[in-house]
Amino acid sequence: MTDTSADLVILGGGSGGYAAAFRAAELGLSVILIEKDKLGGTCLHRGCIPTKALLHAAEVADETRGAESVGVKAVFEGIDMAGVNKYKDGIVARLYKGLQGLAKAHKVTLVEGTGTFAGGTTVEVDVTRYTGKNVILATGSYSRSLPGLELGGRIIASEQALSLDYVPEKVVVLGGGVIGVEFASVWASFGTDVTIVEALPRLVPNEDEFASKQLERAFRKRKIAFKTGVRFTGAKQNDTGVSVSLESGETLEADLLLVAVGRGPNSAGHGYEEAGVRIDRGFVLTNDRLQTNLPNVYAVGDIVPGLQLAHRGFQQGIFVAEEIAGLAPRVIDEKGIPRVTYSHPEVASVGLTESQAKEKYGSDVTTFTYDLGGNGKSQILKTSGGVKLVKAPDGPVVGVHMVGDRVGELIGEAQLIYSWEAFPEDVAPLIHAHPTQTEALGEAFLALAGKPLHVHS
Ligand SMILES: Cc1cc2nc3c(=O)[nH]c(=O)nc-3n(C[C@H](O)[C@H](O)[C@H](O)COP(=O)(O)OP(=O)(O)OC[C@H]3O[C@@H](n4cnc5c(N)ncnc54)[C@H](O)[C@@H]3O)c2cc1C
Minimal-distance CA residue to ligand 1 atom 9:
48
Chain-centroid distance of CA 193 in Å reads 24
Short-list 149, 174, 148, CA closest to 161: 174
pLDDT digits (tens, 9 = 90+) for 270-302: 999 999 999 999 999 999 999 999 999 999 999
Structurally, at CATH architecture level, domain 345-448 sits in 2-Layer Sandwich (3.30)
Pairwise CA distance, residues 384 & 76, whole Å: 23
Mean pLDDT value across residues 410-426: 95
| 1 — pLDDT class (breaks 50, 70, 90) | confident
What pLDDT, on a 0 to 100 scale, did the predictor assign at position 358?
98
Strands of 12-145, DSSP E: 31-35, 109-112, 116-117, 122-125, 128-137, 141-143
Pairwise CA distance, residues 387 & 414, whole Å: 10
Centroid of ligand 1 to alpha carbon of 43 (angstroms): 5
C-beta 136 within 6 A of ligand 1 = no
> Is the fold of 155-261 the same as that of 345-448?
no
Mean pLDDT value across residues 373-379: 96
What pLDDT, on a 0 to 100 scale, did the predictor assign at position 456?
73
Centroid of ligand 1 to alpha carbon of 191 (angstroms): 29
Centroid of ligand 1 to alpha carbon of 301 (angstroms): 8
Q: Does the pLDDT value for residue 457 go beyond 70? A: no
C-beta 315 within 6 A of ligand 1 = no
C-beta 144 within 6 A of ligand 1 = no
Candidates 45, 434, 454, 456; catalytic one = 434
Give per-residue burial for 82-103: e unless 16+ CB within 10 Å, then b.
eebbeebeeebeeebeebeeeb
Fold classification of 155-261 is FAD/NAD(P)-binding domain (3.50.50)
Alpha helices in 201-309 (DSSP H): 209-221, 272-275
Pairwise CA distance, residues 40 & 53, whole Å: 16
pLDDT digits (tens, 9 = 90+) for 55-110: 999 999 999 999 999 999 999 999 999 999 999 999 999 999 999 999 999 999 99
Give the position, in ligand 1's atom list, of the atom nearest the Cα of 300: 26
pLDDT digits (tens, 9 = 90+) for 95-152: 999 999 999 999 999 999 999 999 999 999 999 999 999 999 999 999 999 998 999 9
Spatial contact of 40 and 13, defined as CB atoms under 8 Å apart: yes
C-beta 341 within 6 A of ligand 1 = no
The amino acid present at 17, given as its one-letter code, is: G
Residues 6+ apart with CB under 8 A from 32: 4, 6, 8, 9, 10, 108, 109, 111, 130, 132
Give the residue extent of every domain in the chain: 2-143+264-334, 155-261, 345-448
CATH number, span 2-143+264-334: 3.50.50.60
| 248 — pLDDT class (breaks 50, 70, 90) | very high
Centroid of ligand 1 to alpha carbon of 18 (angstroms): 11
Short-list 148, 143, 175, CA closest to 160: 143
Question: Is 311 noted as a catalytic residue in this protein?
Answer: no
Mean pLDDT value across residues 247-260: 97
Centroid of ligand 1 to alpha carbon of 230 (angstroms): 29
Partnered with residue 125 across adjacent β-strands are 128
What pLDDT, on a 0 to 100 scale, did the predictor assign at position 319?
98
pLDDT digits (tens, 9 = 90+) for 20-45: 999 999 999 999 999 999 999 999 99
Minimal-distance CA residue to ligand 1 atom 26:
301
The amino acid present at 397, given as its one-letter code, is: V
Centroid of ligand 1 to alpha carbon of 73 (angstroms): 42
pLDDT digits (tens, 9 = 90+) for 299-318: 999 999 999 999 999 999 99
C-beta 192 within 6 A of ligand 1 = no
DSSP string computed for 208-233:
-HHHHHHHHHHHHHTT-EEEES--EE
C-beta 267 within 6 A of ligand 1 = no
Q: Classify residue 289 as left (phi > 0), alpha (psi -120 to 50) or beta.
A: alpha
C-beta 222 within 6 A of ligand 1 = no
Mean pLDDT value across residues 341-346: 98
Mean pLDDT value across residues 228-237: 96
C-beta 37 within 6 A of ligand 1 = yes
